[in-house]
Amino acid sequence: MAAAAAMWLKPEEVLLKNALKLWVQERSNQYFVLQRRRGYGEEGGGGLAGLLVGTLDAVLDSTSKVAPFRILHQTPDSQVYWSIACGSSREEITEHWDWLEHNVMKTLSVFDSNEDITSFVQGKIRGLIAEEGKGSFVKEEDPEKFREGLMKFEKCFGLPEQEKLVTYYSCSYWKGRVPCQGWLYLSTNFLSFYSFLLGAEIKLIISWDEISKLEKTSNVILTESIHVCSRGEDHYFSMFLHISETFLLMEQLANYAVRRLFDKETFENDLVLRDPLQITKRGLESRAHSEQFSAFFRLPKEETLKEVHECFLWVPFSHYNTHGKMCISENYICFASQDGSLCSVIIPLREVTGVDKADPAYRGVSISTKGKTAFRFTEVRDFEQLVAKLRMKCNATSSPQHIINTEVAASSASDSPKDFDAGPSKLDQKDNSKTVSTEALMTVYHPQDAENLDSKMLKEKMKEQSWNILFVERGHGVSMFRTKKTRDLVVRGIPEALRGELWLLFSGAVNDMASNPGYYTELVEKSLGTCTLATDEIERDLRRSLPEHPAFQSDTGISALRRVLTAYAYRNPQIGYCQAMNILTSVLLLYAKEEEAFWLLVAVCERMLPDYFNRRIIGALVDQAVFEELIRVHLPQLTDHMTDMTFFSSVSLSWFLTLFISVLPIESAVNVVDCFFYDGIKAILQLGLAVLEYNMEKLLTCKDDAEAVTVLNRFFDSVTNKDSPLPPAVQQGSNLSDTKSDHPKVDITDLIRESNERYGDIRYEDVESMRCRNRLYVIQTLEATTKQNVLRVVSQEVKFSPSDLEELYELFKKEHFLSCYWNVNSPVLQHHDASLPYLDQYRIDCQQFRVLCHLLSPWSHCANRDSLALWTFRLMDESSDGLINFKQFACVLDTMYNGSFTDKLKLLFKLHIPPAFTEVESLSPSKGGDLSKEELIHFSQLSVSSVGDSLESDYLKSSPEKGKGKVDIQAYLKQWQDELLKKEENIKDLPRMNQSQFIQFSKTLYNLFHGDPEEELLYRAIAVVTSLLLKMEEVGRRLQSPTSPVKSPVAVAEVPDEIPRKEQEERSSEPTEGSRAQSLRGNHEWSFAFEQILASLLNEPAFVRFFEKPHDIKVKIESAKNLQLKARISV
């Protein structure tokens, strides 16, 4: 398409009818005409006639560009044509024509007028020309061109300069049934679209974290488009020049944002993309290729794909060259065929002994390994440079450390069982020999009797012989050829004696183990004796792991299981321990040595089943969603019968979490694990489909979910492994052999073979794409659950309508995220933990609260609104950790909007006494009432009284550890009890308000009343109330101590306008905050109780009217939704 795209033309009118006679029409439809220049390509056309035509059309028709083919746009009943493309060959111009028919033709029917059609086509073609120009400069990194696009992006959307534009594309956005031609901008946090066409401006900004669905789709009008669903709204973008590239980038950015903002526990280990300001289009593409590469070849996640070479690999046992790609990373050379032979090879550089040029005529590269195997690649571009590079890499890796690594790696690559045991035993020569087991449990508890071979053992030996023949042909160890024959043998079941070795090989755990000699032993030493929530859960589950197996009825097996699980929890505290890990690890320990079992567990948890074993089991939920999607495609009659697809999710969760170990007899389950280590999650998905298809008829007759679960359970009980050499006492399915069952026996080998035959065409790439797509849906579903739970709790505390409360929650959560977009080390992001109770998952700091206060508070017009926001935040921040949750936020807003006169006054009163109140203005007199971000954070963390300190210390003592260690249920109950007591707070319990606090309280009232229709009346009311209160205080003072000389403070209230001046005078002579309580006693400062202020204000109808005046929060919410982003930018 790149070559064809270079010949789109800026639309120009073709007005001369004579010029049209110089062209021959080859194709046409209602809106476009494809023409060939007369004489071109015709027999004898190159003579005088052709020359004359060429000269005339160049003179008469400037748009032809002397190209022999062109495409014109026309509208019905119009004599005006517009040239839009030209080409030098029929193949090139046909590509243009096909693209127009495929992407544009069906769309034009939706327009009402020919003028609209022509305007749209012109805009589309101009966009394609600009898109092609942009594509070339992005690749060449032309900074000037990109700066132009960046300036348009900044001008159109007004986002902060820290918002990094990654790339942009020309496309059409569908507003209703009409497409709008414009530009789609992809930046680190937003998907943005801008169009100005036919006098109408369209501007769209969607943050990636709001997207719940992102998919390529097509329908009658939209042949191929990208569908984006955000907050329940559907958006469609179409007519991309390179839709696959665009979609991949959108998918990466959306998933990156979701991981960064929602899924902190897996993101924290991702150092590559932690800083959103470092994201680039090239970086994202490179990362996607590297992830696909390391996942496909089961390499450590740290490996990055450096080079890819198309070439041929000589396959000696088949005597032919297979075509494919050689992929090179820092430490590995890998090859995967692309001709359907399913041949792949992994060559660790630590195994390479030599790299040489071979067959220069065929551009050959020969790589020799320690296993005495030579791999010959041919038709390698720049093969001489590649040989030089690989030699340098191999020299760099032949360091002492890597020599040690190779010795450990030889444990799986060696043919000798003695060598196989040598590595771990050397590592365990210290006192650890008593703690780390060097034998697989199966060899201890089920030693094979070589002399007395029954039929099953003979079959087992025949299997071993088949593998040995394969090893001789295709190599033995990490660098063996993996082909269709390898998979066929895996499907039949790996022999017991080879199972641990081949699991290690196929999972890639052999590479981790080789790169980290002695790591497990050190980890065991460090982790044993530690006491955490994870270790408590491990101890609880130890004897629930394969309890019927003799290996786990003894201390040997239990101790090994404890060490592996505890070591892993110590290695990866983000995961720690999750139920199901014990079942999986116990099976691993049966067939692999203890250290190998540990590295197999690492491979499963961190690579093969990503995010399965965290607190929210997101990975398992994602794969269940993929499973549901595959059921819809392959078993539509089942989905038609099931009214609710969640049945499949609930019944299959254990299948995914335990790889069918928890539902199948152990002797059958290990065959499933064989396939899993070879084919990954694809094997589990295929088997799940085969199980459902096998039971299709019975499931279609089920009336409810319970009946369907019973059908599946009976089926799993009937699965056997007739070739299993395990003793009858160990086999879980053997107990059924003698009983009469209405369910026929199903052999696991037949079931797995059938799943491969029927569903083996499910491609690994398609599964990964579905995982990506469904991850957004799963996380947004979890977020919706969090929201529902929070709203259910908070709705009982406030009087807001459900819809208003939901809108407030979205604004609150949005403010949480806005602080994370452009701040790598955002404290709010660091505190976010999805494993916390629902209310504590999203919290905001004082700065974010101020923004929301300005947008939503009915008192936001107040001149000292920053101070009010600060004091309100301090009042709510009872834990003194600088963060508040949505319940606290909603309750204080509810008081402002829906509280009674007394409630609102009590809130204002509490804002002007400790712990909420603190002096603020004196630090920034030039700004008036405004506070800088730094000042706001400083004051929000200031401790003003011992009351606040005691609150903080109480919180620290009673608050459960959030996400770390053991959760203290008693502490939660105590907090809940304290909250109930607070509800019963009596106004008599409120502290008295002192002199300076009362002056600030009066000033706040003045600011609140400013601009009110009854402003003058309210000002006079303040004066009256203040005068009355001061007189009451003076009388009370004289009654208490008639001999004490007291300076009358009545003058303070005589003239309302003097209050600010009087306040300054009082403040200038104020004692420091720390000694305020002492000065109250020593200097006889006057103070007021809340009941006095309430009683006085109730006597003023203007006051009561002001505070009981209803405010509509809906207006504020709508305004806040439009201004929230701008408010954040201006901060």
Residue 922 has pLDDT above 70, yes or no: no
Q: Are 208 and 177 in contact (CB under 8 A)?
A: no
- Provide the pLDDT for residue 1087: 85
Residue 967 has pLDDT above 90, yes or no: no
- Provide the pLDDT for residue 1069: 37
Q: Which carries the bigger pLDDT value, residue 1053 or residue 692?
A: 692
Q: Are 621 and 633 in contact (CB under 8 A)?
A: no
Helix axes 400-413, 496-507, angle to 10 degrees: 140
**How many angstroms separate the CA atoms of 574 and 571, rounded?**
9
**How many angstroms separate the CA atoms of 1052 and 998, rounded?**
11
Strands (E), 718-847: 719-720, 746-747, 843-844
- Provide the pLDDT for residue 284: 84
**How many angstroms separate the CA atoms of 997 and 1016, rounded?**
23
The most confident of the ranges 261-275, 599-613, 927-941 is: 599-613
Mean pLDDT for the chain overall: 79
**Tokens describing residue 260:** 């960064």
- Provide the pLDDT for residue 764: 86
**Tokens describing residue 918:** 């603190």
Q: Which carries the bigger pLDDT value, residue 17 or residue 1094?
A: 1094
Q: Are 1027 and 1062 in contact (CB under 8 A)?
A: no
DSSP 703-742: SSHHHHHHHHHHHHHHEE-TT--S-TTT-SSGGGSSS--S
**Tokens describing residue 322:** 């297979």
Where on the phi/psi map is residue 171: left (φ > 0), alpha (ψ -120 to 50), or beta?
beta
Q: Which of 128, 116, 129 is nearest to 177 (CA)?
A: 116
- Give the rounded percent of residues in the chain with a pLDDT score beyond 90: 33
pLDDT per position as a tens digit, 786-804: 999 999 999 999 999 999 9
**How many angstroms separate the CA atoms of 340 and 763, rounded?**
12
Q: Which carries the bigger pLDDT value, residue 80 or residue 58?
A: 80
- Provide the pLDDT for residue 1073: 38
pLDDT per position as a tens digit, 1098-1117: 888 998 999 998 988 999 99
- Provide the pLDDT for residue 408: 35
Longest pairwise C-alpha distance within the chain: 130
pLDDT per position as a tens digit, 990-1037: 888 888 889 899 999 999 988 889 889 999 988 988 888 888 877 777
- Provide the pLDDT for residue 640: 83
**How many angstroms separate the CA atoms of 596 and 588, rounded?**
8
pLDDT band at 722 (very low <50, low <70, confident <90, very high): confident
Angle among Cα 749, 750, 753 to the nearest 5 degrees reads 85
- Provide the pLDDT for residue 528: 83
Average pLDDT of span 544-572: 88
Q: Which carries the bigger pLDDT value, residue 806 or residue 19?
A: 806
pLDDT per position as a tens digit, 182-227: 899 999 899 999 988 767 789 999 999 899 999 988 775 666 899 9
Q: Which of 765, 776, 858 is nearest to 1116 (CA)?
A: 858
Instruction: Tell me the one-letter amino acid at 392.
Output: M
Residue 739 has pLDDT above 70, yes or no: no
Residue 478 has pLDDT above 80, yes or no: yes
pLDDT per position as a tens digit, 455-469: 788 888 899 999 999
Average pLDDT of span 326-355: 90
Average pLDDT of span 671-678: 96
pLDDT per position as a tens digit, 590-609: 999 999 999 999 999 999 99
Other C-beta atoms closer than 10 Å to the C-beta of 75 total: 19
Helix axes 764-795, 802-821, angle to 10 degrees: 130
* Cis-peptide, bond into residue 276, ω within 30° of zero: no
pLDDT band at 282 (very low <50, low <70, confident <90, very high): confident
Residue 422 has pLDDT above 90, yes or no: no
- Provide the pLDDT for residue 426: 36
- Provide the pLDDT for residue 985: 55
Residue 858 has pLDDT above 70, yes or no: yes
What pairs with residue 226 in β-bridges? Answer: 216, 237
Q: In sequence order, what are the residues at sequence separation of 6 or more whose Cβ sits closer than 8 angstroms to the Cβ of residue 1017?
A: 1102
pLDDT per position as a tens digit, 494-516: 999 999 999 999 999 999 999 99
- Provide the pLDDT for residue 995: 84
Other C-beta atoms closer than 10 Å to the C-beta of 1068 total: 8
